[in-house]
Amino acid sequence: MEGRGVCAPRGFRAGAVSCGIKRGGALDLCLLQAEVPCAAAGTFTRNAFKAAPVVVTMEHLSREGVLQAVVANSGVANAWTGERGRGDARAMAGEVGRLLGIPAHRVAVASTGTIGNFLPMEKVLEGIRAASWRLTREGGEEAARAIMTTDSFPKLGEWDCGPFRVGGMAKGAGMIHPDMATMLAFITTDALVEPGVLSAALRAAVEKTFNRITVDGCTSTNDMVLALASGLSGYRPSPGELEEALLDACRCLSRLIVRDGEGASRLMRVRVEGARDDREAKAVAFAVAGSLLVKTALFGGDPNWGRIVQAVGAALPDAREEGTEVLVGDLLLARDGVPAPYPEDRAAEAFSREEVEVTVRLSRGEGVSEVLTCDLGYEYVRINAEYRT
C-alpha cells in the first residue's frame, strides 16, 4: 500500500498511539522515522517565549542540518515549563534515539496543547516505545490525527513531482498568526538535496504561505515547520524546482489550517494591490484579514465594506481616499472616498459564499500581497472559553 501524508515519499514510516495525555483515548503521540539520515531544515516561531521542544529542536538542527526522526505529542505544549520542560524534551529525543539506534541530536521534538503544564513523562516515554513498534508506511494518516488539538479534521497531503515525491501533515485551528512558521507542519520528500538548499527553499515557501495566514491574530509559542529529505529517489531537483514543490505542499497545508479555523464557516482571501512595495501590501492585507470587525461581518455574510476601509486607513496613516478601491469578487463597493453604485443583494451574496475574495487597490505603487483568513463567530468564543474545562 502506498503511504499517505508524510509517508508518501520513499524512505519514511510513521506510527501513532494514545499514551494518555488526552482524555478519552484519542491519539496523542506520533513518531516519524526515516530509513536514512535526512537533509533537514526548519522555521520556528518568533514568539519570545519559545516552548521547550522548539528550543531543543533548534539546537539539534543546528548541529548538522540532519534529522532522522520526529516525535510529536498533542494535549500538552511543554511551554513555560523551564529547565524541567527542556529536560523532558531532551528525554523524548533520547528515548527515540535509543529505540531507533540513531543519535539523539538527529531527533526533532514537537509539542502542542495547553501552555504551562508539564508532560506526564512516564506515559510519554511508554507512548514513544509503543509508537516505535507501530512504524509503518501506512501510518501517515494516524500520525496526522495524533497531532490534532482543536482541529476538526486531519491535515495531510501528498504531491507527485515526477521524479520525486513530497508528503506533509499539519495541525492548527486556533492561535494562528504565524511569523516564519505555523502551528506544526512536517514535510517530507525523497528528493536528493543538501541542507542549505532545502533550508532556502523551505523559507521561501513558508514566507509565501504559512506567513500569509491568520485565524485569530495569536502567534503560538510552539510554531514549527520541518522538512526532511531522504534523497532515496536519487533525483536532484534544481533549487527552483524544489521550491515550487514545497510551495505547493505549504500552500495546501496552510489553506487547510485556515479552512479549519476554530468555528469557521467561511474563508476569505484578502488581496492588496498598488501598495508602495510588497511589505506595505502585506501589512495592509493583515490589517484587513485580522480585523475582528471584518471577520464578524464575514461570519454574518454582511458586506460592510466600511470596516475594510477603516482597517486600511488604520494600517496606512498616509493613505488617500483618491485612488483607493474596495471590491468583493468582481463587484466594486467603494472608490475614491465614496460608495460605488452596486446592488446590495449581489454584495450580500458575494459576502455569503464559502470563499470570499476581497481586493483593496491603493494606487501607490506595484506592491502586491495576499492573506488568507476566516470568519469569527460564536463557536470560536465557545471553544476558547472552554479550552481547559
Catalogue the active-site residues. 182
- CA distances 105 to 66, 128, 196, 345, 369, Å, are 9, 16, 18, 59, 38
The torsion defined by the Cα of 311, 316, 321 and 324, in degrees rounded to 10, comes to -80
How much is the CA Rg of the chain, to the nearest whole Å? 22
Residue 70: helix, strand or coil by DSSP?
strand
Report DSSP letters for 367-386, one per residue: EEEEEEEE---HHHHHHHHT
Q: For the chain, how many residues are written?
A: 389
The torsion defined by the Cα of 127, 131, 133 and 138, in degrees rounded to 10, comes to 160
Q: How many CB atoms lie within 10 A of CB 162?
A: 10
Contact (Cβ atoms closer than 8 angstroms) between residue 194 and residue 238: no
Contact (Cβ atoms closer than 8 angstroms) between residue 73 and residue 28: yes
- C-alpha to C-alpha distance for 257 and 325, rounded to whole angstroms: 29
Strand order in the sheet with 325-328: 338-339, 331-335, 325-328, 355-361, 267-275, 367-374
- Eight-state DSSP code of residue 213: B
- C-alpha to C-alpha distance for 140 and 94, rounded to whole angstroms: 23
The torsion defined by the Cα of 75, 81, 87 and 89, in degrees rounded to 10, comes to 30
Q: Which three cell numbers stand for residue 47?
A: 514568539
- CA distances 281 to 131, 141, 294, 310, 360, Å, are 45, 37, 18, 16, 9
- C-alpha to C-alpha distance for 296 and 290, rounded to whole angstroms: 11
Contact (Cβ atoms closer than 8 angstroms) between residue 209 and residue 277: no
Contact (Cβ atoms closer than 8 angstroms) between residue 111 and residue 81: no
Contact (Cβ atoms closer than 8 angstroms) between residue 171 and residue 149: yes
